[in-house]
């Protein structure tokens, strides 16, 4: 049975290709959505770019027919623009001057005129709530949704193997068909392992024999960089050993690294340590520079209005990065903050020499980044379209590192299942060019208080 979907503006702003995502079903565009797209077409960043893309699509369809009468989509459905009627049945308390309410009125108009079952598609949770109150079925735009948090790929697995196989592990590894996992009833199963997945390998007859490895083809091989200490930093847990392995791999082998984890699990700290090791400590020419971006809400809207140079504008947003640099530049915990001025001068020198550069995410569009160690911190605040744009910016010799916590999202209309970090994690899974690792709560190294808070509070806070 053909369904009728009414699209909110925010769907097109996040995914301008959404028109083609409803198979053979009909798609309705409220006229107020056209007005909002017109108002956004000159906006800076992705918002303006996506608005213009949606407008161009509608113009291409208009040239083929009448949008008020309906135009056939490639999937077989009909694309139609509808003007809402003022006399539809909605509460008088919902002002028709608000765009959201006009979209709801459009749904009611289609339901009354065509007697069709209408489904409103919107990223706005409050609009979905109001729609239900008015008897209008409403859904999120699910095309870009990935699995729930507990079901998302973590990039790591714990398996068992016969103890005699460990003798040759360092030399030849262990076949992926020679390991197993146990279910709750104790039954053995051969797990489906994924390329570049990290493995905690345990001997089935010895509780004390454990090695760390990585899936490569049909074998589990040892970690190549386990004994390294980039910029004087040593791994403290298995997650950090895996993180170090992914970051230390050359760009030709691992041009994309995705790291998820809650606060205090050393995602940014370790990424900076490896970057400084590669660019400053042992400059082999592998990377020309270390480039850092933090894509939060300010980067897309307010940065152009802040005073000063680009660096001055970004500096407040880069403070978490500077906090990590303070610990890396002076590793002596007792002496680090005795001379604040000297510490600041050391960090300023790194930026002034161009060893580390900080830029707004907006300014990466259209560029091709060669031989760059690129860290995208707080990547959970990116849309799927943005993350695609960043990854496709990587030129020869560039390594892209996406860091973030999908449970800590600051951008409206994004959530744990629709943000760019989770999207990249799901769709890059299994790529031989991508390494992924999710840091666990018990790998928090910030402080005893931070670890205790992560364990006690994370499951109790609704975000």
Cα–Cα distance for residue pair 126/462, rounded to 1 Å: 16
- Examine residue 59 and state whether it is found in any structural domain, yes or no: yes
What mean pLDDT is predicted for residues 34-49? 91
Give the CATH number of the domain where residue 75 resides.
3.40.50.1010
Percent of the chain with pLDDT strictly greater than 90:
56
Closest CA to 403 of 297, 255, 263: 263
CB 171 within 8 A of CB 192: no
Please write the tens of the pLDDT for every residue from 341-393. 888 888 888 888 888 888 877 767 667 789 999 999 999 999 888 898 889 87
What mean pLDDT is predicted for residues 290-305? 64
**Given this model, what pLDDT does residue 214 score?**
97
**Given this model, what pLDDT does residue 306 score?**
53
- Examine residue 234 and state whether it is found in any structural domain, yes or no: no
What mean pLDDT is predicted for residues 52-71? 95
Asked if the model's pLDDT at residue 311 lies above 90, the reply is no
With 0-12 / 13-18 / 19 or more C-beta atoms within 10 angstroms meaning exposed / middle / buried, residue 138 is buried
Residue after which a domain boundary falls, among 139, 163, 187: 139
- Examine residue 231 and state whether it is found in any structural domain, yes or no: no
Percent helix, strand and coil across the chain, each rounded to 5? Answer: 40, 20, 40
- Are 314 and 213 part of one and the same domain? no
- Are 390 and 447 part of one and the same domain? yes
- Are 256 and 354 part of one and the same domain? yes
**Given this model, what pLDDT does residue 463 score?**
40
Bridge partners of 222?
213
Cα–Cα distance for residue pair 392/3, rounded to 1 Å: 35
Cα–Cα distance for residue pair 330/324, rounded to 1 Å: 10
**Given this model, what pLDDT does residue 412 score?**
80
Closest CA to 141 of 319, 29, 22, 30: 22
**Given this model, what pLDDT does residue 308 score?**
58
Closest CA to 437 of 445, 428, 449: 428
Asked if the model's pLDDT at residue 162 lies above 70, the reply is yes
- Are 199 and 94 part of one and the same domain? no
- Examine residue 53 and state whether it is found in any structural domain, yes or no: yes
- Are 171 and 266 part of one and the same domain? no
Bridge partners of 394?
369
Apex 28 CA angle, 94 and 108, nearest 5: 35
- Examine residue 273 and state whether it is found in any structural domain, yes or no: yes
Q: What is the dihedral of CA 261, 263, 268, 274, to 10 degrees?
A: -70
User: On the CB side of 415, how many CA atoms lie within 13 Å of its CA?
Assistant: 16
- CA distance readout (Å), 347 to 11, 321, 332, 431, 437: 42, 11, 15, 36, 29
Cα–Cα distance for residue pair 94/398, rounded to 1 Å: 52
Q: Which domain holds residue 56?
A: 4-139
Mean pLDDT of the residues in the chain: 87
Count the domains in the chain: 3
- Examine residue 233 and state whether it is found in any structural domain, yes or no: no
What mean pLDDT is predicted for residues 327-342? 70
How far, in whole angstroms, is CA 364 from its chain's centroid?
16
Closest CA to 197 of 430, 368, 390, 14: 430
Residue after which a domain boundary falls, among 70, 105, 139: 139
Q: Which residue spans within 31-121 are E strands per DSSP?
A: 71-72, 78-82, 118-121
Residue after which a domain boundary falls, among 222, 241, 261: 222
Its pTM stands at 0.80
Please write the tens of the pLDDT for every residue from 95-149. 888 999 999 999 999 998 877 889 999 999 999 999 999 999 999 998 877 766 6
CA Rg value for the chain: 26
- Are 273 and 185 part of one and the same domain? no
- Are 261 and 407 part of one and the same domain? yes
Give the CATH number of the domain where residue 297 resides.
3.40.50.300
Sheet containing 4-7: order of strands:
71-72, 78-82, 26-30, 4-7, 118-121, 138-139
- Examine residue 188 and state whether it is found in any structural domain, yes or no: yes
Assign 336 a pLDDT band (cuts: 50, 70, 90): low
- Examine residue 240 and state whether it is found in any structural domain, yes or no: no
- Are 99 and 176 part of one and the same domain? no
- Are 258 and 194 part of one and the same domain? no
């Amino acid at each position: 049975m053909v369904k009728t979907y009414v699209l909110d503006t925010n769907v097109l702003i996040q995914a301008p290709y959404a028109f083609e995502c409803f198979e053979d079903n009909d798609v309705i565009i409220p006229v107020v959505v056209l007005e909002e797209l017109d108002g956004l077409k000159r906006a800076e960043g992705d918002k303006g770019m996506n608005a213009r893309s949606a407008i161009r699509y509608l113009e291409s369809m208009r040239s083929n027919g009448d949008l008020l009468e309906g135009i056939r989509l490639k999937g077989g459905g009909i694309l139609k623009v509808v003007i809402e009627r003022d006399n539809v049945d909605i509460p008088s308390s919902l002002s028709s001057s608000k765009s959201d309410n006009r979209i709801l009125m459009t749904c009611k108009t289609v339901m009354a005129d065509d007697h069709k079952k209408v489904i409103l598609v919107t990223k706005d949770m409050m609009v979905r709530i109001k729609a239900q109150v008015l008897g209008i079925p409403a859904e999120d735009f699910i095309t870009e949704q990935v699995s729930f948090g507990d079901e998302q790929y973590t990039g790591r697995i714990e398996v068992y193997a016969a103890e005699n196989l460990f003798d040759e592990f360092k030399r030849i590894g262990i076949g992926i068909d020679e390991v197993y996992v146990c279910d709750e009833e104790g039954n053995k199963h051969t797990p489906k392992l994924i390329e570049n997945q990290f493995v905690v390998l345990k001997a089935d007859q010895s509780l004390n024999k454990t090695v760390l490895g990585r899936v490569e083809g049909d074998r589990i091989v040892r970690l190549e960089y386990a004994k390294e200490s980039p910029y004087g930093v040593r791994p403290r847990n298995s997650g950090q050993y895996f993180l170090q392995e992914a970051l230390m791999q050359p760009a030709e082998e691992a041009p994309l690294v995705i790291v998820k984890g809650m606060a205090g699990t050393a995602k940014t700290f370790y990424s900076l340590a490896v970057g400084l090791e590669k660019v400053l400590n042992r400059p082999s020419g592998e990377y020309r520079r270390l480039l850092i971006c933090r894509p939060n809400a300010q980067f897309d809207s307010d940065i152009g209005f802040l005073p000063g140079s680009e660096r001055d504008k970004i500096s407040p947003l880069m403070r978490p990065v500077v906090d990590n640099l303070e610990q890396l530049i002076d590793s002596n915990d007792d002496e680090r903050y005795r001379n604040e001025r000297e510490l600041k001068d050391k960090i300023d020198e790194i930026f002034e020499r161009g060893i580390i550069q900080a830029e707004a995410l907006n300014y990466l569009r259209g560029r091709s980044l060669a031989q760059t160690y690129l860290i995208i911190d707080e990547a959970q605040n990116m849309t799927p379209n943005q993350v695609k744009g960043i990854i496709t910016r990587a030129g020869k010799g560039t390594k892209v590192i996406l860091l973030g916590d999908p449970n800590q999202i600051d951008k409206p209309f994004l959530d744990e299942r629709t943000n760019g970090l989770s999207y990249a994690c799901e769709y890059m899974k299994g790529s031989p060019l991508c390494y992924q690792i999710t840091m666990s709560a018990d790998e928090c190294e910030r402080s005893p208080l931070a670890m205790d808070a992560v364990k006690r509070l994370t499951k109790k806070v609704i975000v």
